[in-house]
Amino acid sequence: MMKYALLTFLLSIAALVTQGQPESSPEQVVITSEKGKIQVSSLENGKLHVNVPPKAVVKYKAVGLVHYSDFGAKGNGKTDDIDAIAATHAFANLHGLLVKADPKATYYIGGRERTAFIRTDTDFGTAAFLIDDTEVQNRNASVFTVSSDLKPFKLETIKTLKRNQQKIEALLPASCLITVTNANVKQYIRFGLNQNNGSPQTDIFVVDKNGNVDMNAPIIWDFSQITDITALPIDEKPLTITGGRFTTIANKAESKYTYYNRNIAVRRSNVLVDGLQHDIKGEEDHGAPYGGFINIGECAYVTVKNTILTGHRTYSTIGAADKPVTMGTYDLSVNRALNVSFVNCSQTNDINDNTYWGILGSNFCKNLLYDQCTLSRFDAHQGVANATIRNSTLGHMGINAIGSGLLLVENSTIRGRSVVNLRPDYGSSWQGELVIRNCVFVPADGKPISAALISGSYSGQHDFGYTCYMPERITLENLRIDDSRHPETYQGPAIFANFNPQQTDASYQEKFPYVKTKEVILKNVTTASGKPLRISDNPFMFRDVKVNSGQ
């Protein structure tokens, strides 16, 4: 009697990126096991039908792995292999098998809407993947989505939360990632050329099965009301993705905020991406921006290491204020994610070439790390709680951050216009501590500018949806400022930029007062120019800052 098995996967991609694109439509794969041969076909309704005969199932399970060529991938760089790739992963997911790309293959992936869902270890090896974005059916559909078998569920009984709360009243099946929203409160009400009405109050944190909050990534807001709270169980078993040489043939779309998400979307916790390379070719004088080739969201404990990325060409459009604005476009994107590390990562283009946009954008994250990275930018848009940059070199867009906790920069070289830029469009706010230690600062990559270590802008007239803070305490220790090239009028580097040129005496009134830095600790800060460190071009604004010099 013919053995017959039918499995339908109802899988969906969360296409959340910095700019908030909608989710892709659900993907369906039907797998059968009938006699005959392996067949992969696309049905009229868009579903993928995969047949694997019983003998082949036994063989692959015995070996423990499958190759894309087993499911019909040609790997010739011309034939569209996305159906074969998606089918391979669907079968591997069903039986818990390793997926290996074929050595020396070049897999062409055209613009048809099809996503391959990765739920098992995958070795892309030395294979090349050519992703053609010149004609795309759905720009929001990821090429690969790293997903989990575990399903999210609602926590209906929790009605409020407090900042730094240590426990929630819930019994859970395992450690979970908790995402909470109060849609009735708006925060991050953006100011400037990309102004908007803000985002619903949100937070993301990890709890164990007894509801104890991981205080390394604490709850950072008070929630007087909760409109949605979701728990997503965290996969205990690590999932590893290795190798792969990916090339995106860039889109030729109109330059406007229609973000392309033809990427690898990581939507599962406990993932390692190791040894991947992403290149871009075919960029012209116009194009739509990208939401991150490696796009990490709704997850925790993700590491990207030994990976080479590429910055995207910067394009302009008309922004929300009806004025020209350059569009953020990313090769790395992290959103609603905790404990995400980038280790030994670099990029193919010059980190100091402002033709290309800064490589990372992030929102609503906690515990982000750069270690041994050479990249053009670190950026936290709508907040990060705790961030570390160590043993790294940052290029023309430097370190940009909004958030709370500890911002630590150590053993690094910063070549931006400041060491840390507190983003003015979100209130130049960091509620916590800033430590810059054992670093070299080369202002604007050595161009003659009047340098400030900490830049930002705050008028006190705009409501961002929260109180705005400067770092309460700033430590500058063993910092070398290479300001050997500077303008003739240079008076020496400033600790703070002129955050508000209008606030020069007590007559200026802030509607929304800025909580200023209390203390700056200086230990062995030296300048190539020989000029001493100053407080600011606006000494009145920072008159109450206590500067302790230990040198």
Q: What are 314-341's pLDDT values in tens digits? A: 999 998 888 999 999 999 999 999 999 9
Confidence of residue 21 (pLDDT cuts 50, 70, 90): very low
**Model confidence at 114: pLDDT above 50:** yes
Sequence-distant (≥ 6) Cβ neighbours of residue 481 within 8 angstroms: 441, 443, 451, 453, 493, 525, 526, 527, 528, 529, 533
By three-state DSSP, how is residue 63 classified? helix
How many Cα atoms sit within 13 Å of 413 on the Cβ side?
14
Q: Is 70 exceeded by the pLDDT of residue 22?
A: no
Query: What confidence score (pLDDT) does residue 28 get?
Result: 78
> How crowded is residue 219: how many other Cβ atoms within 10 Å of its Cβ?
22
What tens digit of pLDDT does each residue of 391-435 get? 999 999 999 999 999 999 999 999 999 999 999 999 999 999 999
Residue 541: which of 490, 450, 470 has the closest Cα?
470
Mean pLDDT over residues 22-37, rounded? 71
Q: What is the pLDDT of residues 141-156, one digit of tens each?
A: 999 999 999 999 999 9
Q: What is the CA radius of gyration of the chain?
A: 25
Please give the share of the chain, as a percent, with pLDDT higher than 90: 90
Confidence at residue 491, expressed as pLDDT on a 0 to 100 scale: 93
Q: Are strands 308-309 and 494-496 parallel, antiparallel or unpaired?
A: unpaired
Confidence of residue 43 (pLDDT cuts 50, 70, 90): confident
Instruction: For residue range 447-486, list pLDDT tens digits in order.
Output: 999 999 999 999 999 999 999 999 999 999 999 999 999 8
Query: Are the CB atoms for 267 and 299 separated by under 8 Å?
Result: yes
**Cβ-based neighbours of 74, under 8 Å, separated by 6 or more:** 81, 84
Q: Give the chain's end-to-end CA distance (angstroms, integer).
A: 86
pLDDT digits (tens, 9 = 90+) for 510-527: 999 999 999 999 999 999
> What local confidence, expressed as pLDDT, does residue 551 receive?
52
What integer pLDDT is reported at residue 27 of this predicted model? 54
Q: Check: CB of residue 485 under 8 Å from CB of residue 448.
A: yes
Cβ neighbors of 459 (< 8 A, separation 6 or more) are 500, 502, 510
Q: Please name the residues in contact with 34: beta carbons below 8 A apart, sequence gap of 6 or more.
A: 2, 4, 51, 53
Q: Is residue 501 predicted with pLDDT exceeding 90?
A: yes
Q: Residues 273-315: pLDDT tens digits?
A: 999 999 999 999 999 999 999 999 999 999 999 999 999 999 9
Alpha-carbon gap, residue 472 to 545, rounded angstroms: 10
- Report the predicted TM-score, pTM, of the whole model to 2 decimal places: 0.94
The residue-averaged pLDDT of 158-175 equals: 96
Give the pLDDT confidence of 230-258 residue by residue, as tens digits: 999 999 999 999 999 999 999 999 999 99
Summary mean pLDDT of the chain: 93
CB contact burial 494-513 (16+ within 10 A = b; e otherwise): bbbbbbbeebeeeeeeeeee
432 bridge partner residues? 405
DSSP state of 476: E
Helix, strand, coil content of the chain in percent (nearest 5): 5, 45, 50
Per-residue tokens: 421? 């830029």
The pLDDT score that the predictor gives to residue 46 is 85
Structure tokens at 248: 């995106």
- DSSP at 311: P
Q: What pLDDT does 25 receive?
A: 33
Q: What is the pLDDT of residue 149?
A: 93
**CA distances from residue 216 to 87, 290, 387, 405, 407 in whole angstroms, order as listed:** 40, 31, 12, 10, 14
Share above pLDDT 70 across residues of the chain, in percent, rounded to a whole number:
95
> Residue 260's pLDDT is what?
97
Distance between CA 134 and CA 223 in Å, rounded? 44
